[in-house]
Amino acid sequence: MISFEIPEYVRQQNDQIRMVAESQMRPIARHYDEHEHERPTAFNEFMWQVMAMQQQMAAQRRAQREAEGAPRPKRPSTTNLRQLFMFEIMSWGDAALLLTIPMPGLGGAAIEAVGTPEQKERFLNHFYEGDMKWGAMAITEPGAGSDTANIQTTAAYDAETNEWVLNGEKIFITAGKMAGEMPGSFVVVWATVDKSAGRAGIKSFIVPAGTPGFTVAKVEHKLGIRASDTAALVFENCRIPYENILGSPEVQDATETRGFKGVMKTFDASRPVVAGGALGIARATIEFVKEKLDEAGVAIRYGLPRHKLTALERDFMDMEAQHKAAWLLTLRAVWMLDNERPNTLEAAMCKAKAGLAVTRITQKAVEMLGPMGYSRQWLVEKWMRDAKINDIYEGTGQINMLIVARRIFGYSSRELK
């Protein structure tokens, strides 16, 4: 049965993350919003040390267990639950700074989901050793956003050198600049090995930073999450080793989409995490509005019939209800993932709901707080700008709702577009 009980060790981890969000992120959030493209180096270095220490301690625990011949402790996996909380709490601290943290990111999630043990060893197991590194995931192109099956970037196999040769352009890639330029970093790139095969020809490839033919073409100026670098990447005869393909190089016939489905599986893990990030902003906003209402002596009268409430009370309760509903959907999607149950429907559902909820909650907060809500003195206007991206990346709200509809009514992507 699904359980919303949070294990004690996850609570303890959350307390530590909360301290980081409060002391290291909130105080610098406005500065990096106003200084787009300035790197939060001190914060990144601090986080790198924390993550390196955690990876080291986990490796030590594993080694000790193996030396003692002790079995792995028997408890349900909480890997995705912990990841969800990390994103929620850090996003409460600052959603943009969270995206600057040196980590494998969505590229790492793809390797984790479909990579071979050798690829995991090469790109993930020693990630936090040495200098800071970043990972990124590059799917979107000038002519392929929601319609991922229309990807034009090509990966041609060169039998003479046993390499893949990539050609194409990717746009709006989160952490693309750091992942493309910092030694040891990597980008997971979606490309087609056979355009005539449609979806079945689309595969993903790990491209290490600094590979000749791989360049960061530009960094975007944005409405929100301005501390996060969002870059355009170009691949011109970019050669990578054969072993850098994720999953099988086989192309099934055009009606077979197993390979494509394999890469799409990454979204089942990443969408709930993005939903968690959205809900961190939503919680920050609700808490802030509550604080301001308390200061103004306005109490929310829970329990009264709706028609007896003031408009403000109704609006505030709606914000809380939207937040709670999205959070429960997200917990369900993550619980299913940790318990190895297929969750494509639930992942799309929670992402669609959380993206919409955070957009509405932050807009309503700006509205409720009057001119001060719109002022740069408070962070609410920034949260409203930061919120919208959660309804765009990892599948827009419309696309996620389309997935939900297909899954519920049993339509294929060809039948319901």
Ligand X SMILES: Cc1cc2nc3c(=O)[nH]c(=O)nc-3n(C[C@H](O)[C@H](O)[C@H](O)COP(=O)(O)OP(=O)(O)OC[C@H]3O[C@@H](n4cnc5c(N)ncnc54)[C@H](O)[C@@H]3O)c2cc1C
Cβ at position 369, least distance to ligand X in Å: 26
Cβ atoms of 94 and 25 closer than 8 Å: yes
Contact between 402 and ligand X (CB under 6 A)?
A: yes
Burial class from Cβ neighbours inside 10 Å (0-12, 13-18, 19+) for residue 360 reads: middle
Collapse the DSSP code of 250 into the 3-class scheme (helix H, G, I; strand E, B; otherwise coil) and give the result: coil
Query: What residues have CB less than 8 Å from 22, skipping those under 6 apart?
Result: 93
SS3 content of the chain, % helix, strand, coil (to 5): 55, 15, 30
348 or 389, CB closer to ligand X?
389
Contact between 263 and ligand X (CB under 6 A)?
A: no
- Catalytic-role residue among 88, 141, 313, 394: 394
Contact between 28 and ligand X (CB under 6 A)?
A: no
Query: What residues have CB less than 8 Å from 289, skipping those under 6 apart?
Result: 316, 319, 365, 368, 369, 380
Contact between 202 and ligand X (CB under 6 A)?
A: no
36 or 256, CB closer to ligand X?
36
12 or 412, CB closer to ligand X?
412
What are 378's two structure tokens?
């408070």
Taking every pair of C-alpha atoms in the chain, what is the biggest distance, in angstroms?
A: 78
Count CA atoms within 13 Å of residue 349 on its CB side: 19
Contact between 399 and ligand X (CB under 6 A)?
A: yes
Location of structure tokens 């609570």 = 11
Cβ at position 215, least distance to ligand X in Å: 17
Contact between 389 and ligand X (CB under 6 A)?
A: yes
274 or 350, CB closer to ligand X?
274
Contact between 396 and ligand X (CB under 6 A)?
A: yes
Beta-strand runs (E) in 184-335: 186-192, 202-208, 214-219, 230-241, 245-246
What are 363's two structure tokens?
């807009």
205 or 335, CB closer to ligand X?
205
User: What whole-number distance in Å separates Cα of residue 100 and Cα of residue 41?
Assistant: 9
- Stretch touching ligand X by CB under 6 A, among 80-88, 153-161, 166-174, 195-203: 166-174
Cβ at position 364, least distance to ligand X in Å: 21
User: What whole-number distance in Å separates Cα of residue 357 and Cα of residue 379?
Assistant: 18
According to CB under 6 A, which one of 24, 153, 174, 322 is a site residue for ligand X?
A: 174
Contact between 186 and ligand X (CB under 6 A)?
A: no
Site string for ligand X, 223-262 (x = CB under 6 A): --x----x--------------------------------
The CA-CA-CA angle for residues 354, 25, 187, to 5°, reads 65
137 or 238, CB closer to ligand X?
137
Cβ at position 233, least distance to ligand X in Å: 10
- Stretch touching ligand X by CB under 6 A, among 203-211, 250-258, 357-365, 395-403: 395-403
394 is catalytic: yes
Contact between 417 and ligand X (CB under 6 A)?
A: yes
Catalytic annotation, residues: 394
Q: Which residues bind ligand X (CB under 6 A)?
A: 136-140, 145-146, 172-174, 222, 225, 230, 389, 392-393, 396, 398-399, 402, 417
